[in-house]
Structure 1
Amino acid sequence: MPLAAFRLSAQRLIPIESESDSPDELTRRLPRGIFTTFSTNHSGTRVLGLCAHLERLYASTESAPAPSASRADLRRALSRLAASNAPGESRFRLLMSAADGTVYVIVQPFTPLAKEIYERGVKVITADLVRHDARLKDSGFITESQSARTRVSGDVFEVLLTKNGKIYEGMTSNFYAVLPVIASDGRVGRVFAEAVSRSSEAIPARSSVIARNEAISSLGRGLLRRVGVSVRKERYPSTSSGHRSTTDPPRNDGATLVTARTGILLGVTRRAVLRLARGEGMSIRYRAPRVDENFAEAFLTSSSRGVVPIISIDGIGVGEGRVGAWTKRLSLAYQAYVEERSESL
């Protein structure tokens, strides 16, 4: 199935004729409203955070016209459309018209990003642009930001939205920066991140995600001790799958993750990644990072792309200009989280 659009009335999917070749172009032709975008996994049978995506759509209906279809009707429609693309995956964009509550479904076959993107990282640029109301994922912003979106081409992967020299989010993603590690004896450097990177290379490629994470943690601490940094080893209870609980205390490894909390869309994937970061021992600082700030690492997250490493911003290298150890670690943790927590359609 190529790119297709439907109007949903109760359980009826009514096709919409369109010559649009991208979800953004098609969205601009539809009535303005609240939208959400996500992709399937497990051969089109599951979605991470599906309930949260539907809540984003239906939460705004309390003072708006009644939706043309219920959540249950929409889930059944999504399941039918995903089955038509199986065993391949599907990417969905759902939109609810602010004018009359009509539910629209845009669907296309979904191909995950190439492995090389996660291994090599991406280049991004900035634009002096922010959303008028970041609390709502308003389709009107797609039209308002059209000129900035045209800059995503060639080796430019994403445009970061900025204001007064601060980075708030990506055009279609959330943004995070990892600050350089400050060792426990006061020396500034990337000791733990470098230790994790060196350790990661020694872990067998066929090891499970959980085994790799635990081995990286253990070896990283060993290298820290060799350079004279005091590290306290702590044990935390695990979930039945072997993951540490995301509510466990931090391990005080020294890494700080910085991301805006206001003036941005609070993405579904963002919520999961922040929980995973805490579980991996990172501290979270909620503020918009400055464009001219020194980052050890940076990355983007979105429902369809997961954790995407950034190696340069506006042509200036981030950290060492390659994918950082913490970003790799969070990417592995996120992959395991998707496997464990995705919901059935």
Structure 2
Amino acid sequence: QLPEGYYSTFRTFDRCTRALGLADHLRRLYDPVPAPEVSASALRRQLLDLLEHFRPGEARVRLIMTKPGQIYIVIEPLKLLSRDIYKRGVRAETTGMYRDAPHLKSTAFIGVSDAERKHIAQEGIFEALLVKDGSILEGMTSNFFYVGRSGIPTYLGTAQDGILLGITRQIVIEIAQNNRLEVKYQPLKRDQLAAAQEAFITSSSRGIVPVIQIDGVTIGQGMPGPITKKLSAIYDVYVNKKAEKI
């Protein structure tokens, strides 16, 4: 059982020497706690020392800050998704579960959502999408985007309220806007799945993962679409340029 507190999860790059958005991950971890026992700079040093044991491979890191200010570091070898998943896309399923305090990445939510994660894994579903009042807000372990069409222009849609504002999500929004793709902060309605041209989820450990089916409804052509592919390619370049030294 995880200690009560807050957490942030990310993967390493360049043989465990860099991480994307590390300063933002640490800020999210430290902000809710008034008196942490270890400074962010000291945590970086400890993390880098521990990661030496995982080289030359990469690692998945989970940092946990307890409410009293203690820090736990959980590191495991990074298990990359198969190329086939990015090439073919994944299936998702909606659930009525949602975060009570979405602005905080609380360890309590991991425990609450454990049964749902096990259920979808048994069904061969990649991710559960959290729905409130008929709107798809986010993934259980990710943020959710869809590609919609308003007349001729195409836009990238995502929820803004009632979600965890993920670090990879913000990077994708920045990439989209820099490439003249309009971003609309409006969630996709559960009863309008067929209107979505494309869909994908984002997370720090997995990047951009195409979603081709939700609740049995095929999204677009049932394969990763051109905008998802374009954003994924740009994201990969962004990672190589912007990942921070640990």
Give 4+ residue runs of structure 1 displaced > 3 Å after superposition. none
Aligned to 1:141: 109
Aligned to 1:302: 203
Find the structure with the greater CA-based Rg.
Answer: 1
SS of the residue 1:319 aligns to: coil
SS of the residue 1:156 aligns to: coil
Aligned alpha-carbon RMSD (Å): 1.1
Contact 1:259 1:285 in 2 (8 A): yes
Between 1:273-282 and 1:324-333, the stretch displaced more is 273-282
Once the 2 structures are TM-superposed, how far is the Cα of residue 155 of structure 1 from its aligned partner? 2.6
Query: Where does structure 2 lack aligned partners over 5 or more consecutive residues?
Result: none
| Equivalent-residue separation in structure 1 for 2:4 and 2:91 (angstroms) | 31
Once the 2 structures are TM-superposed, how far is the Cα of residue 52 of structure 1 from its aligned partner? 0.2
Opposite residue 149 of structure 1, the aligned amino acid is: R
Opposite residue 110 of structure 1, the aligned amino acid is: L
The alignment-based identity, stated in percent, is 42
- Given the alignment of the two structures, is residue 113 of structure 1 paired with residue 81 of structure 2, yes or no? yes
Aligned to 2:11: 39
Once the 2 structures are TM-superposed, how far is the Cα of residue 278 of structure 1 from its aligned partner? 0.9
Query: Where does structure 1 lack aligned partners over 5 or more consecutive residues?
Result: 1-28, 184-253
CA deviation string 1:286-336 (max 9, x = no partner): 122101211000000000000000000011100111110000000001000
Between 1:294-303 and 1:138-147, the stretch displaced more is 138-147
| Equivalent-residue separation in structure 2 for 1:324 and 1:309 (angstroms) | 8
| Equivalent-residue separation in structure 2 for 1:30 and 1:281 (angstroms) | 42
The one of 166, 177, 180 equivalent to 2:149 is: 180
| Equivalent-residue separation in structure 1 for 2:55 and 2:44 (angstroms) | 16
| Equivalent-residue separation in structure 2 for 1:52 and 1:36 (angstroms) | 10
| Equivalent-residue separation in structure 1 for 2:119 and 2:157 (angstroms) | 26
- Given the alignment of the two structures, is residue 171 of structure 1 paired with residue 140 of structure 2, yes or no? yes
- Given the alignment of the two structures, is residue 58 of structure 1 paired with residue 26 of structure 2, yes or no? no
Once the 2 structures are TM-superposed, how far is the Cα of residue 149 of structure 1 from its aligned partner? 1.3
The count of residues paired between Structure 1 and Structure 2 equals: 243
CA deviation string 1:104-140 (max 9, x = no partner): 1111000221111110000010100110011100110
Once the 2 structures are TM-superposed, how far is the Cα of residue 163 of structure 1 from its aligned partner? 1.2
Aligned to 2:44: 75
Aligned to 2:167: 268
Aligned to 1:282: 181
1:197-212 maps to which residues of 2 (within 5 A)?
none
* TM superposition score normalised by structure 2: 0.96
Aligned to 1:328: 229
- Given the alignment of the two structures, is residue 84 of structure 1 paired with residue 56 of structure 2, yes or no? no
* TM superposition score normalised by structure 1: 0.69
CA deviation string 1:217-274 (max 9, x = no partner): xxxxxxxxxxxxxxxxxxxxxxxxxxxxxxxxxxxxx221110001000001011000
Once the 2 structures are TM-superposed, how far is the Cα of residue 92 of structure 1 from its aligned partner? 0.6
SS of the residue 2:101 aligns to: coil
| Equivalent-residue separation in structure 2 for 1:86 and 1:105 (angstroms) | 17
Aligned to 1:18: none
Aligned to 1:157: 126
Opposite residue 296 of structure 1, the aligned amino acid is: Q
| Equivalent-residue separation in structure 1 for 2:218 and 2:164 (angstroms) | 26
| Equivalent-residue separation in structure 2 for 1:179 and 1:288 (angstroms) | 11
Contact 2:210 2:228 in 1 (8 A): yes
Once the 2 structures are TM-superposed, how far is the Cα of residue 181 of structure 1 from its aligned partner? 6.1
- Given the alignment of the two structures, is residue 49 of structure 1 paired with residue 18 of structure 2, yes or no? no
Contact 2:18 2:243 in 1 (8 A): yes
Contact 1:151 1:159 in 2 (8 A): no
Contact 2:2 2:107 in 1 (8 A): no
SS of the residue 1:61 aligns to: coil
Opposite residue 285 of structure 1, the aligned amino acid is: K
| Equivalent-residue separation in structure 1 for 2:185 and 2:207 (angstroms) | 20
| Equivalent-residue separation in structure 1 for 2:89 and 2:82 (angstroms) | 11
